[in-house]
């Protein structure tokens, strides 16, 4: 009872507890990551144009796929705006 888990006792796929209701599928994780990147860029743009009363800081580490952009340059500001637009499939 106190040893390591055996491979046959570990639930896999749809039987795994994290798979319930499709919350932890690869597609769901990719969508969540994309939304986190979009909100990070929106926050950076809002901070750059003084949209908020105080500078907003996001909690935790930045989402994967999000690079720090220098928004004083027009090229990187345009890139940040383009990354916040929805993608039409």
Question: What are the average pLDDT values for consecutive 10-residue runs of the chain, which has 89 residues?
Answer: 69 71 73 89 91 88 84 88 79
Q: Whole domain around residue 75: which residue ranges?
A: 7-84
- Spatial separation of the C-alpha atoms in residues 73 and 48, rounded to whole Å: 11
User: For the chain, how long is the longest CA-to-CA vector?
Assistant: 62
DSSP state of 63: P
> Is 1 within a domain?
no
Task: Decide if 89 is inside a domain.
Answer: no
pTM to 2 decimals? 0.68
Question: For residue 15, what pLDDT is reported?
Answer: 74
* Cβ count within 10 A of residue 32: 13
Total domains in the fold of the chain: 1
In a domain, 65, yes or no: yes
The answer to whether position 61 is within a domain reads: yes
What local confidence, expressed as pLDDT, does residue 16 receive? 73
Tell me the C-alpha distance between 43 and 37, whole Å.
Answer: 10
């Amino acid at each position: 009872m106190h040893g390591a888990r055996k491979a046959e006792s570990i639930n896999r796929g749809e039987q795994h507890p994290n798979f319930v209701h499709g919350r932890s599928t690869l597609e769901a994780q990719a969508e969540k990551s994309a939304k986190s990147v979009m909100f990070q860029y929106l926050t950076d743009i809002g901070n750059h144009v003084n949209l908020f009363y105080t500078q907003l800081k996001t909690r935790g580490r930045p989402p994967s796929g999000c690079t720090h952009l220098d928004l004083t340059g027009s090229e990187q500001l345009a890139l940040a705006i383009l990354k916040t637009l929805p993608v039409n499939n």
